[in-house]
Structure 1
Amino acid sequence: MTPPPFKETLFLVLTVGLTSCKKQAEKDLPEAKGREAKITSAHHPQLIKTQGSQPGDNVNSSIQDKAGNLWFGTTSEGVYKYDGKSFRQFTVTHGLNSNRISCLLEDKDGKIWIGTEAGVCLYDGKTFAKVQLPLRKNLPPNKDPNTNTVFSIMQDKGGKLWFATNDGVYTYDGKSFTPFIGKEGSGFLSGNYSVERTLEDKAGNIWFGGRTNKGVFRYDGKAITNFTVDGDSWAWPALQDKQGNIWFSSWKGAYRYDGKLFIKLDALSTGPISPITRIIEDRKGNLWFGGGRRGVCRYDGKSFTCFTTRDGLIDNDVWSILEDRTGNIWVGTRNTGLSRYDGKTFTSFSEKTVSFSVNK
């Protein structure tokens, strides 16, 4: 059920060039052929699989851009863009460097950064370009020297981009990429550890987490502090809520950090292995949790309400959660599934169109 672990890799000095991808702007894409480009339904739009994805593949990342479009990244079908009327699918045939998407980010300039198992692709609204990673030294066996897996991308308050990769963390100031190097002895060294998630808190601290790290790390601009979460386990930093608590997800469950202690949210535990893959906070202050085949669970600070396939969710194994501007909750799942919850009804946007009324 869990993705395969990622091998630790060695330090490298990164130089980056942007090279044009094979296809032109969205406006230059050919008209839909079969199920390729623009996808519609007689009833309402559907996310159609065209690349032979398997039941174990996910809709694992999602964002809403400044224009209101929704973007969904998948682990084998590339990226889907939804404008409220139809889906447009982008794959390697349209310029992506891989159909296996890890993360999505729209920067302050409106450009879409797409992290993949083959590095980064950048979409400026007209053209896809890929960020070419350099040749690396002392490569592990059978490793492609031209690619890094980019697991997540974050833009901090100052505009700097942070890339969490299987070769540690890299920053981009708008001109050049720089490897982020942890202090010797901190246990966090770029090139020694795979980092999968980053988070900037309200105080400007940067948090790092990944499955090959021991616990989590916090960088205050000068020093790095290592925190142990539930023994020697790892955790992904997810968000800081309206009360200032920082939330972490892991294969053991969800944790809240109040500035002093890490507190496990036992109400969601289903056993020693109790994965939480995504946590978000909606505009009302509710927290939503997904993962571990428990469906998607809403927490109002006092009690949980969990929604599953019995309520209309397309699949119980959740990998992404997004609240759009109108308050709808979009849930990405295994089997490249996508559902929308409007507060009353779940509607499936994958292959088959089914609506369920929910009295919760």
Structure 2
Amino acid sequence: MRVKSDSKNTFILYCTFLIVVTISCNNKSKPNEENKIVNAKKSIQHLDRGINAIRLKYTTGVRSILEDSKGNIWFGSYNEGVCLLHNGELQYFTTENGLSDNQVRSIYEDKNGIIWFECGKGLSIYDGQKIAVYKGRNYDSTKQWKLADTDLWFKGDEIEGYNKLEENPGVYQYDGKKLSYRTFPVIPRPGDGFKYYISTPFIKGKNGTVWFGTYGAVIGFNGSDFKILDNEYLGLNAETGSLHVRSIIEDRKGNLWIGNNGIGVLKYDGKKVVNFTAQQKLKKEYTKGNSLKKVFSVGEDTEENIWFGTVESGVWRYDGNSVKNFTQEDGLESKHIWTIYKSKKEELWFGGANPSGVYRFNGKSFERKY
């Protein structure tokens, strides 16, 4: 009987040992299994972000951008209407949805929260519900120029030339109540062609001057006087190359930067104009490759670097001392940078074409944002 009792006790101890070992092993394996599950979830989430990344479907290029007061982002295309990014979803609008034209050159928000679209032909607005063509116009005070901080300014209604009521070169001024046409103090000459057609968004300078870029001139108005920077003022001609203005900005120091399609960048400090492209030896004959001649966009970042978007020559950055070129090798796929937009977080967004997309600079290279 004693032998049987010892055998029984031994069996019980052995079983207890096996249970303890099994539990111990299971407990040790749990963290590994949990880690595997967590890592798998992270991989899936990362994959989902890649698959569901917000990407504009435009093919003709992103020509204009606006981040409005409600946190929505608007993207104007070269010839495919406008797109609204709201709550992570994209909604597209064309002439079928109320736009006056599918080319959206500039986008603004007025003091009442109305979004304005300056199209290739005509104007449209978004009131928070729908887009509609804006038809109201006033032509009774074409020479009564005045300034207010909240004014918006727009190009003429036609893609080329002027309609019968506009007659002469000028801009539309919206004061929050009505849209009035103002004529520039210029006398068009035979052969001027599109010299005084608006070609850039308007900008407001630090001293109160509003600047308008036209294909053949940059015109400033300070509330009382006009400043006209044209070929005659700059001493440009057929031999030196003439103005073909595609972008203007005023930097924090008050310098006016003028991007041209052909003669590159001009810098105006209020007294004299310098051909920045020639000064930096960035003409094609100097670089033997990418050049700073066809400049369609200019922007300034928080560190006061000046950025230039070009056609076929990537993006250039000027840090006050030297100029650096960024191309496809640096993640910039678009070969035509239409616009450089500063977001509310003061991040520069580069809207381009061929292929279309919106990019940001991460400090080392470019990455696709939209």
TM-score, length-scaled by structure 2: 0.67
**Of 193, 198, 201, which aligns to 1:195?**
198
Residue 331 in 1 paired to residue 341 in 2? no
Structure 1: runs of 5+ lacking an equivalent: 1-39, 137-155, 351-360
CA distance in 2, matches of 1:194, 1:59: 21
CA apart distance, 1:344: 4.0
Residues 183 and 46 of structure 1: CA distance in aligned 2, closer, same or farther (over 3 Å)? closer
CA apart distance, 1:118: 2.3
CA distance in 1, matches of 2:56, 2:118: 20
Amino acid corresponding to residue 122 of structure 2 in structure 1: G
CA distance in 1, matches of 2:83, 2:235: 37
Residue 288 in 1 paired to residue 312 in 2? no
CA distance in 2, matches of 1:300, 1:157: 33
Aligned pair count reads 282
Residues 229 and 301 of structure 1: CA distance in aligned 2, closer, same or farther (over 3 Å)? same
CA apart distance, 1:77: 1.8
Cα deviations across residues 236-276 of structure 1 (Å, max 9, x unaligned)? Answer: 56121111111111121111111111111123433599111
* More relative contact order, 1 or 2 (CA 8 Å, 6+ apart): 1
Residues 339 and 84 of structure 1: CA distance in aligned 2, closer, same or farther (over 3 Å)? farther
Paired residues of 1:199 and 1:237 also in contact (CA < 8 A): no
SS in 2 for 1:158: coil
> 1:143 is matched with which residue?
none
Cα deviations across residues 34-65 of structure 1 (Å, max 9, x unaligned)? Answer: xxxxxx9724111124xxx4xxx221111221
**Of 256, 266, 270, which aligns to 2:284?**
270
After TM superposition, the structure 1 stretch with the greater mean CA deviation from structure 2, 82-91 or 264-273, is: 264-273
> 2:236 is matched with which residue?
231
Paired residues of 1:186 and 1:226 also in contact (CA < 8 A): no
Residue 261 in 1 paired to residue 280 in 2? no
TM-score, length-scaled by structure 1: 0.69
> 1:310 is matched with which residue?
329
CA apart distance, 1:277: 0.6
Superposed, which structure 2 residues align to 1:211-250 within 5 Å?
211=215, 213=216, 215-227=217-229, 228-229=233-234, 231-232=236-237, 233-234=242-243, 235=245, 238-250=248-260
CA apart distance, 1:185: 5.5
CA distance in 2, matches of 1:237, 1:201: 15
Paired residues of 2:267 and 2:275 also in contact (CA < 8 A): yes
Query: Greater strand percent: which structure?
Result: 1
CA apart distance, 1:289: 0.6
Which structure has the larger Rg over C-alpha atoms? 2
CA distance in 1, matches of 2:338, 2:220: 25
CA apart distance, 1:204: 1.7
> 1:176 is matched with which residue?
178
Cα deviations across residues 97-134 of structure 1 (Å, max 9, x unaligned)? Answer: 22211111122222211111221110122221211277
SS in 2 for 1:277: strand
SS in 2 for 1:62: strand
Structure 2: runs of 5+ lacking an equivalent: 1-48, 140-146, 163-169, 286-290
Residue 47 in 1 paired to residue 56 in 2? yes
Query: Greater helix percent: which structure?
Result: 2
After TM superposition, the structure 1 stretch with the greater mean CA deviation from structure 2, 257-266 or 336-345, is: 336-345
Paired residues of 1:60 and 1:102 also in contact (CA < 8 A): yes
CA distance in 2, matches of 1:285, 1:273: 19
> 2:39 is matched with which residue?
none
CA distance in 2, matches of 1:203, 1:225: 13
Cα deviations across residues 329-358 of structure 1 (Å, max 9, x unaligned)? Answer: 3221123333233334533356xxxxxxxx
CA distance in 2, matches of 1:206, 1:170: 13
Cα deviations across residues 153-182 of structure 1 (Å, max 9, x unaligned)? Answer: xxx752222112253312122222222123
**Of 88, 92, 97, which aligns to 2:95?**
92
Query: Where do 4+ consecutive residues of structure 1 move more than 6 Å?
Result: none
CA distance in 1, matches of 2:270, 2:92: 42
After TM superposition, the structure 1 stretch with the greater mean CA deviation from structure 2, 68-77 or 262-271, is: 262-271
